[in-house]
Amino acid sequence: MIALYIGSTSGYAGKTLITLTIGRYFQNLGFKVGFIKPVGTSPTTKNEDKVIDQDAVFIQKILGLNNDPELVTPIVVTRDLQLSVFKKGCPDFMGKILNAYEKLKKDNDLMLICGSGSFLHAGKYCNVAGIDVANALEAKVILIDRFFKEFYYDYLVSAKEILEHRLIGCILNSVPKRIMDTVNNLLVPLLNKKDIDVLGVIPKDPFLYAIPIKELAKRLKGNIISGQSKLDELVIDFIIGTMQIENFMYHYQKKKNPAVIVGGDRSDLQLVALEGRCKCLILTGNIYPTDIILNRAKDLNIPILVVKDDTYTVAKKMDFILETIKLRDEQKLNYGFNLIKEHIDWSALKKRLGLEK
């Protein structure tokens, strides 16, 4: 039985999707795949009394597994748990993880261990950081480094020095097109010189980080006043309307049907955005549109969201939302599977895992 820990240099790096893609790939080859997420950070309740991890439940569902969620995620981080740890100290979390793992690994060829947050740091205060768990479970490790304005290649080098041969490689995720040549021609060779195999270079695809308009309205606490039949459509990008019309049109034409964030008092930009068939209008400052704007939006069936925050605050929230949105939509999930499957070196991964058939 092979244990593979899938960790990352930061949170929201794409661990769930990559874990699922690896799991499905080896299932399709005929291997029996098990799964555990030792430390969960997305708590929810089941039957109003049991706290379970949403991400772990989702992964089990997609992989066709049906193990006890409390066993699959033996530690679920809640506010109450944190307060208890701060006041009383850490109980034997690792013992609980080991016990669950021993039960779940039986009869499996490959055991996938999905991390939470930063591999070297998240959970270290209770000795259940990714590196602690991977060592305790004697797992091989893949680290995902997602591009957030930069790559954390120093982190990968540090992890390699600590893990040595047990770090079997890394995956560079969400690589913007503008730096793809730099990554392939400079970063990958650099990592190879440090004895870090790059098992995949995944290009950034905005579709994976799109969000339904209805979910966006919920996140922004917006009031939807038009376009109710279009709320399942996806927002992929946005533009801020704080400029003169000529400049706004220049930037708007570079994007494909973006959401437009604009002050509720800027009827001029609102009308231009509507006529340009924007995905939706987000009016800030809790200012409702004029009758002309509202009627035109209804004619075109374009959603309008009215939010209380100012334009700058909404734009910052939008950045965060689109960077951290979780994959739950079936269409996006299948798209993501195909994207990642295409860009992972499966021959190299199978060789390093010792799972060649």
Q: 267-275 and 291-300 are packed helices; what angle lies between their axes, rounded to 10 degrees?
A: 10
Considering the domain 2-205+327-353 in this protein, what is its CATH number? 3.40.50.300
Q: Which residue has the tokens 């440090």?
A: 194
Residues of the chain with CATH 3.40.1390.20: 211-324
Question: In CATH, which superfamily holds the domain spanning 211-324?
Answer: HprK N-terminal domain-like (3.40.1390.20)
User: By C-alpha distance, which of 204, 206, 45, 11 is closest to 114?
Assistant: 11
Tokens of 126: 């209770």
**Section 58-68 average pLDDT:** 94
Question: Does 355 score more than 90 pLDDT?
Answer: no
* 3-state SS assignment for residue 354: coil
Share of the chain above pLDDT 70, in %: 99
Q: What is the pLDDT of residue 48?
A: 62
Question: Does 49 score more than 80 pLDDT?
Answer: no
Pairing mode, if any, of strands 304-306 and 223-226? antiparallel
Q: What is the pLDDT of residue 252?
A: 85
Burial of 290 (0-12, 13-18, 19+ CB in 10 A): middle
Tokens of 160: 């390699």
Average pLDDT, the chain: 92
**Section 114-127 average pLDDT:** 93
CB 242 within 8 A of CB 269: no
DSSP string computed for 254-290: TSSS-EEEEETT-HHHHHHHHHTT-SEEEEETT-PPP
Q: What is the pLDDT of residue 206?
A: 85
Give the pLDDT confidence of 243-292 residue by residue, as tens digits. Answer: 788 888 888 888 888 999 999 999 999 999 999 999 999 999 999 999 99
Q: What is the pLDDT of residue 207?
A: 87
**Predicted TM-score of the model (pTM):** 0.86
Give the pLDDT confidence of 320-334 residue by residue, as tens digits. Answer: 888 887 777 777 888
Q: CA angle 234-236-237, nearest 5°?
A: 135
Determine the straight-line distance between the first and last CA of the chain, rounded to whole angstroms.
Answer: 14
Give the pLDDT confidence of 224-241 residue by residue, as tens digits. Answer: 999 999 999 989 889 998
**Section 68-75 average pLDDT:** 93
Three-class secondary structure assignment of 206-230: HHHHCEEHHHHHHHHCCEEEECHHH
User: By C-alpha distance, which of 242, 295, 299, 231 is closest to 265?
Assistant: 242
Tokens of 18: 């990559």
Tokens of 118: 């930063």
Residues of the chain with CATH 3.40.50.300: 2-205+327-353
**Section 42-58 average pLDDT:** 82
Q: What is the pLDDT of residue 47?
A: 56
> Percentage helix, strand, coil, to 5, in the chain?
45, 20, 30
**Section 32-56 average pLDDT:** 86
Dist. CA 9–CA 350, nearest whole Å: 23
- Running DSSP on this structure, what letter comes out for residue 344? B
